[in-house]
């Protein structure tokens, strides 16, 4: 069992490279970047893992402050499990202290859902993580909605957010980052009641 002194590993899922930066599939990276900004540090290459990491603390000073490693795997999405498992081993993070922030097709755009464990719902990043570590980690699911018409899912997730969606994106990414902080400080149930919509 984990305890309050164990570090947390916050994993933003996405694809590396500037051509993917604004894709729907990269919303996990966007949340990780904002958390890094809040902590006040810069990502650096991870020791012993194909990832960028930032170590710091999240939450108010005192007993609610949590030691965190914010990470962006630098493999492609469908290979996320390898880097995440290497980071978990290196930083000695219990599985229930791993949080994956990712895009979710089956939820309306901008809606958040927090949960512990469960299936991968066809998400290749989660599929890879679950294969490497088992399913019992936290997920912060950021709704991107379903593709319009007959557009293929793969094409949809690898497209940038629409101009209408972009109007709200900064606010929604901010809210997702808030939900990470709430989860760490106050636990899953409190974070679910505050952020699950």
Task: Taking residues 118-139, report their average pLDDT.
Answer: 96
Contact 73/13 with Cβ under 8 angstroms?
Answer: yes
pTM for the predicted model, two decimal places: 0.96
pLDDT at 1 over 70: no
Order the strands of the 8-12 sheet from edge to edge.
Answer: 44-45, 51-58, 66-73, 8-12, 98-104, 138-143, 112-116
Q: Which residue has the higher pLDDT, 106 or 48?
A: 106
pLDDT at 56: 95
Question: What is residue 61's predicted lDDT score, i.e. its pLDDT?
Answer: 79
Return the DSSP state at 160. B
pLDDT at residue 59, rounded to an integer: 80
- DSSP-assigned beta bridge partners for residue 73: 51
Give Cβ neighbours of residue 101 (< 8 Å, ≥ 6 apart): 10, 11, 12, 13, 27, 28, 31, 32, 139, 140, 142, 176, 180
Lowest mean pLDDT among 3-17, 84-98, 178-192: 3-17
Q: Predicted confidence band at 65 (pLDDT cuts at 50, 70, 90)?
A: confident
CA distance 139 to 101: 6
Closest alpha carbon to 160 in 23, 5, 46, 34: 23
pLDDT in tens, 4-63: 688 999 999 999 999 999 999 999 999 999 999 999 999 999 988 999 999 999 987 787
pLDDT at 100 over 90: yes
pLDDT band at 2 (very low <50, low <70, confident <90, very high): low
pLDDT, position 62: 80
Which 3-state string (H, E, C) describes 53-93?
EEEEEECCCCCCCEEEEEEEECCCHHHCHHHHHHHHHHHCC
- Give the tokens for residue 15: 């694809």
Distance CA 127, CA 119 (A): 8
Residue 18: the pLDDT is: 95
The residue from 25, 97, 102, 123 that is catalytic is 25
Q: Is 25 a catalytic residue?
A: yes
């Amino acid at each position: 069992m984990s305890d309050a002194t164990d570090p947390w590993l916050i994993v933003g899922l996405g694809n590396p490279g500037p051509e993917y930066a604004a894709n729907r599939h990269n919303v996990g990276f966007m949340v990780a970047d904002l958390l890094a900004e809040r902590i006040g540090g810069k990502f650096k290459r991870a020791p012993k893992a194909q990832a960028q990491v930032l170590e710091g603390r999240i939450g108010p000073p005192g007993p609610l402050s949590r030691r965190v490693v914010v990470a962006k795997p630098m493999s492609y999405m469908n290979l996320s499990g390898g880097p995440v498992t290497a980071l978990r081993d290196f930083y000695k993070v219990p599985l229930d202290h791993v949080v994956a922030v990712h895009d979710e097709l089956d939820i309306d755009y901008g809606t958040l859902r927090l949960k512990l464990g469960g299936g991968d719902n066809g998400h290749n990043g989660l599929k890879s993580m679950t294969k490497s570590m088992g399913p019992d980690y936290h997920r912060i699911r950021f709704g991107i909605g379903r593709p319009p018409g007959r557009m293929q899912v793969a094409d949809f997730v690898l497209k940038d957010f629409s101009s209408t969606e972009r109007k709200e994106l900064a606010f929604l990414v901010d809210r997702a980052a808030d939900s990470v902080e709430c989860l760490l400080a106050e636990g899953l149930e409190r974070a679910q009641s505050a952020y699950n919509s």
